[in-house]
Chains A and B, each alone.
Chain A
Amino acid sequence: MNASRKRKITYLLIILVLFTTQVFVGDRLHQEAKAERLAQENLGKVDPISGTAQLVCFGFRGVAVTFLWNDVMDLNRRERWFEIKPVLNSITLLQPNFHSPWQYQAWNMAYNIANAWEAVKDQYYWISEGTKFMKEACAKNQGVSDLEWYTGFLYFNRFSVHDNHKFFRERFKKEFAEHKDPDFTANERGRGDPFINAYEWFRSANASVVESGKPPKRMGITPFLSHPAKALTTFAEYLGKEGTFGVDAREAWNQAYNEWLKFGRGLGVARKDGVSERDQFVHRLEYDAAEWEKLSDETKYWIDRYGNIVRYSYWKRRVKAEGTPAMEGAREAFYFAEKAREDGDYDLAITKYEEGFPKFRSVFEVPKFSQLRDDMPIQDDAADWERNYIRVLTNLNRKLPERRPFQGVFRSMSDDSPDADLGAPSSPNPNRPASQKSAGPVQNGTPSPAPKKP
């Protein structure tokens, strides 16, 4: 056997030995990575194209991504929106486990690009694209609470704060009903409402935090964990705004209340013994009277402090009040009153306002809800209804009540204000016709008499 052949056989043997060794060592490394949750399949969905793309870059992945980012910024500047998505896909293909690109570009689509468009359907499209982009991020990065939270936040924020949120909500419900774009509209509860989608994502984020034992990075753990309850609260609130009352509405408020309680009880996370309340991983805010008495002053201080971050007591009280029959009846009456007023049916509007006033006042006569008198949103709502009621009366030249319907109920709407007593001649009321005579004080929603014919 000549020297050349011997060399070749030697090399082949060395290759075989090394290859076999590498297989076993690699497998062992992979098992350890899986145990530490660092393997690719632990991070999220395995994408062979992504892996191939990274290999093909030969270590120049960072350079490639830098140029792709430049492309995206250039396309953004030149408003070539539809060419951005493939480039974003390339960036996330090369960096699937980098969280910032996913989050930044989802935000870019759902906020900047959406607002660059003027037609509602185009804005909606880009919001849905941004949200679906975040969902893909969560699929490739499983168990990352911040990404899950942000997905929920897009549903929550874009459908509640945007100027066109009413149109977006209509479109969302329509697409849900027609089974269009299920990737964006579908949820486990089978409800066509973006706040339910938000709730499910927030809940998933909470589960990831609890399971991993790692606090979220974007905010403190207490406000982070409160978001499922906020989502259900907003869902129940919007049911009322959009005219859904009765069993569905009460059920929604009950669920919101239960979710707040669940949050207050610390999501069932076990307490660490020997650790102060300040250093607990998840803070428990809900205690019954007996348990509360047993707590130390320092513990009570920290519970109050963390509770005030999310206004836990207020929300618990508020959600409970909203779920009462009196409040539900009041809101229903005012909803139809406002609707009748906008449609020009003033008689119906007056009837409904006067039906709602006593119900609304009765809520605050319950001792545990009396603190809600100081709540600004409730005061704003009450002021709107009161003002609109008076406006309707004025338009019909009807006699105004002697006292405002909510006079004395809310502290900021005090009896010292100039129009507190609408019937007194010494109190000039610009809304009151000069020819109208005082008919004496009105008590608790007594209908005002019709003006006498001249």
Chain B
Amino acid sequence: MSPILGIVFEDLSQYKIFAAPLSVIEDLLLTSGFAVGALIVFAIIGLVVGFIYSSFVRRNPFSAFVPTVRSFFLGFGEILVLLLRLLPFFIVVFVPLFAFSGALGRIGEINRFGINDRNSSQVGAMLWFFWGVALLACWFIWPSLRRVRAIAKLSFIEALRGRILYVFVLFFIPFLFAGWYLDKTPEAVLLNLCGFVNAAMTYILMPLVIFMASMSLPNEIQARIVQTVVTKPVRRSEIVLGRSLGYIAVFTLVLLGMGSVSLLYIYSQLDEQQRSTLWVARRPVFSNAPVPEVVADFQKQGAGTAFLQHPELFSLMFNQNGKWNMIATNVGKEWSYRYHIGGQANHSAHYGFRFDPKVLATRKNQRGEDCHVLQMEFDVFKMTKGDPTREEGKDAEESGVRCLIEVRDRGRDSGDGAKAPTEAQVHRINHQRVTEMLVPTRIFDNKFIEVVIKCTTRSQFVGMARGDLYLLAKDGDFAVNFFKGLATIWLKMVLVVCVAVSASTVLKGFVTVLFASAVYVLGLFYFFMWNVAAGALGTVKGGGPIESFIRLATQLNQVSPLDDSNWLIRFFLHVDQALLGLMKLMTFLVPDLSKLDVAQYVAHGVDVPGVLILRNVVIVTAYVIPVMVVGYFFLRNRELAA
């Protein structure tokens, strides 16, 4: 489903919070495509609606047809010119983001539009060339944006001077007492601390953002201060843009301050041992390529090369009794994210990794060899009680199942018959505990390895998914990662500021506050709203608002059919369908804020992928541009300097 202004994209990250998107490049490409498509669709709809509005609603269509339509297209042209003037700045910001996120280095994975692994370096060079041209263009365009800069500066100073910012002092109060209530167990301490600071920042910042951004323009209009601006040769688009930028700048500074305090707080709450293990941002490298036997099997079945466009989907395959499959045994769990292989049965799981091992972290093993680190966290499902792997007399805590883990070099051409280098170890696997294996670096020389898992404990099952086994790249810094995680709150703040400023061009102050709050809250519950509005396709049963009320009042459950013979109930159900239609329309207009959440990565000590932030930036940009255009048109049609 692709709403006009919001973007919905189902990805693996909703299942395992630190599983990589389907393909980092595919993800970004698809999102960007949706964004551009959404903007084009918006522009077309805007043109049609604006044309009709100008022609028939505002004036007598026959006598004023040409001037009003001309006025509308002039406005549209003004927006286009402004966007074109801002385009070099977008390029100057996005290309470095694109490069630092790591996406530029993997641009060859696109395999379309003529871009592939062979010419990826040329494509990268071309992007940097465009960046240089854009930088030069910015130099020339900069003076022409002086009015936008002036209004942004005014908004910035006005916000700083407002005593309402003192409310941020409240931010520090919870920190005085939070330590008494937060769970300090090793498994949960970082989760709880990060969850607490994120909640504190969000609950203090967002209401203030909504209030300040919503009240500013209406107050100025009411006090007629805005006349001192609109009587100058300042375009309406520059007023909307400048005001938004000013508030974004203020709240960005505030967020940075709150983030710094939060980081210091987290650091102070951890003890020495916790800091040594948790003060890190792990960078997992997940499997991304099917093993050659899987490719051969698909080709033998005539599956075609379509599946190779998404190799990540087949990077974990199960082999049961000689047959390859994407799924294995389902042990009956409610959440079927993992599939299980049986112990001492002819079952195995195969992960394929194809990448440059230079990014991987290195450690020495007991033999003094340089090794890369393989980590895994599997599910253990026991069919029998007791622990057959525990040695007699040993502590009961040494429970678990045994697994044989083989890492094979699949990049080596074995035409000469020589056996490919392999490292095989038997490890005790405990349920949801991380097991680590050191693999000598020589296995990675040919940049394509296969990891084979077999359970050697009879009558037990081991469950795994793609995100459960990974190689560790060099660790990132927790502090840097924490600030990357703040992107969640920053992007939400940018979105809310733009919505509030745009809405304030037509609505009164407190109405704008309500409107912006509603958009924000609905955005947080977007998934729920969509599931209700989707009716039979959604997961929330029980109908719309009226049907739910009837069920609540009559204490009926959500799935029993209502009494259709009652004409009143039939009538209300029809009204309810209309309300559901309205909700469906809302899902097209309200942004899905849950998609922007990357704070979970930080809470779990995993590095936030740069490309994920880039994707979220694309989503927010694609949303705020139409919002601000709508705000511009409302402000343009408003009599401010009468």
**B-binding residues in A (CB < 8 A):** 49, 77-79, 81-83, 85-86, 89, 116-122, 163-164, 167, 170
Contacts and interface: CB of A to CB of B under 8 A. Distances in A.
The 9 closest A-B pairs by CB, nearest first: A118-B431, A167-B396, A120-B396, A82-B188, A121-B397, A118-B380, A82-B187, A119-B399, A119-B430
Contacts of A78: 15, 335, 337
Interface in B172-196: 177, 181-183, 185, 187-188, 191-192, 195
A170 B183 CA distance: 26
A85 B183 contact: yes
Interface string B158-183: 00000000000000000001000111
Interface string B374-386: 0000011010011
B74 to A, nearest CB: 47
B183 A119 contact: no
B400 interface: yes
Contacts of A167: 396
Q: Which of B195, B379, B432 has the most CB of A within 10 A?
A: B432
Nearest to B397: A121
Contact of A119 (B182, B334, B386, B397): B397
Given A79-B379, A86-B195, 11 more contacts: A49-B177, A77-B335, A82-B188, A89-B181, A117-B432, A118-B380, A118-B430, A118-B431, A163-B386, A164-B396, A170-B396
A163 B385 contact: yes
Contacts of B431: 116-119, 122
A60 to B, nearest CB: 11
Contacts of A117: 431-432
A428 B318 CA distance: 55
A260 to B, nearest CB: 34
Nearest to B334: A77
Contacts of B397: 119-121
11 contacts: A77-B334, A78-B335, A79-B335, A82-B191, A83-B191, A85-B183, A85-B188, A118-B380, A118-B400, A120-B399, A167-B396
A86 B188 CA distance: 9
B358 interface: no
Contacts of A85: 183, 188
B433 interface: yes
Contacts of A49: 177, 181
Of A78, A83, A118, A163, which is in contact with the most chain B CB atoms at under 10 Å from its CB?
A: A118
B433 A119 contact: yes
A163 B380 CA distance: 17
Nearest to A70: B528
Contacts of A81: 432
B401 to A, nearest CB: 8
Nearest to B174: A49
Most buried by B among A79, A89, A119, A164: A119
A163 B431 CA distance: 18
A78 B333 CA distance: 10
A127 to B, nearest CB: 14
Contacts of B400: 118-119
Interface string B612-640: 00000000000000000000000000000
Nearest to A129: B185
A122 B188 CA distance: 14
Q: What's the dominant secondary structure at chain B's contact region?
A: loop
A81 B188 CA distance: 10
A167 B183 CA distance: 26
A83 B192 CA distance: 8
Contacts of B386: 163
Interface string B313-352: 0000000000000000000001101000000000000000
A81 B187 CA distance: 10
A119 B183 CA distance: 22
A132 to B, nearest CB: 11
Given A85-B188, A86-B195, A167-B396, A79 B181 contact: no
A120 to B, nearest CB: 4
A86 B399 contact: no
A163 B386 CA distance: 8
Contacts of A118: 380, 382, 399-400, 430-431
Nearest to A170: B396
A167 B181 CA distance: 31
Contacts of A119: 397, 399-400, 430-431, 433
Contacts of B185: 82
Nearest to A93: B181
A323 B400 CA distance: 41
Nearest to A125: B185
A123 to B, nearest CB: 9
A157 B494 CA distance: 54
Nearest to A81: B432
A118 B396 CA distance: 11
A137 to B, nearest CB: 16
A117 B181 CA distance: 26
A299 B334 CA distance: 54
Contacts of B177: 49
Contacts of A86: 182-183, 188, 191-192, 195
A267 B326 CA distance: 65
A122 B430 CA distance: 10
Nearest to A74: B335
Contacts of A120: 396-397, 399
Nearest to B180: A49
A120 B334 CA distance: 23
B188 A79 contact: no
A241 B486 CA distance: 58
A263 B335 CA distance: 48
Contacts of A83: 188, 191
Contacts of B385: 163
A120 B337 CA distance: 25
B216 to A, nearest CB: 26
A76 B286 CA distance: 25
Nearest to B429: A118
A79 B432 CA distance: 9
A244 B335 CA distance: 46
A244 to B, nearest CB: 21
Contacts of A122: 430-431
Nearest to B16: A78
B17 to A, nearest CB: 9
A41 to B, nearest CB: 20
A329 B397 CA distance: 34
A359 B188 CA distance: 55
Nearest to A86: B192
Interface string B390-415: 00000011011000000000000000
A355 to B, nearest CB: 28
B421 to A, nearest CB: 33
A77 B336 CA distance: 10
Contacts of B430: 118-119, 122
B514 to A, nearest CB: 15
B16 to A, nearest CB: 9
Contacts of A79: 335, 379, 432
A83 B430 CA distance: 20
Interface in B431-463: 431-433
B336 to A, nearest CB: 10
A163 B183 CA distance: 29
A113 to B, nearest CB: 11
A120 B335 CA distance: 23
A89 B199 CA distance: 15
Nearest to B381: A118
Nearest to A167: B396
A420 to B, nearest CB: 35
Contacts of B334: 77
Contacts of A116: 431
B289 to A, nearest CB: 27
A292 B191 CA distance: 64
A78 B14 CA distance: 11
A342 to B, nearest CB: 12
A118 B430 CA distance: 7
Nearest to A166: B396
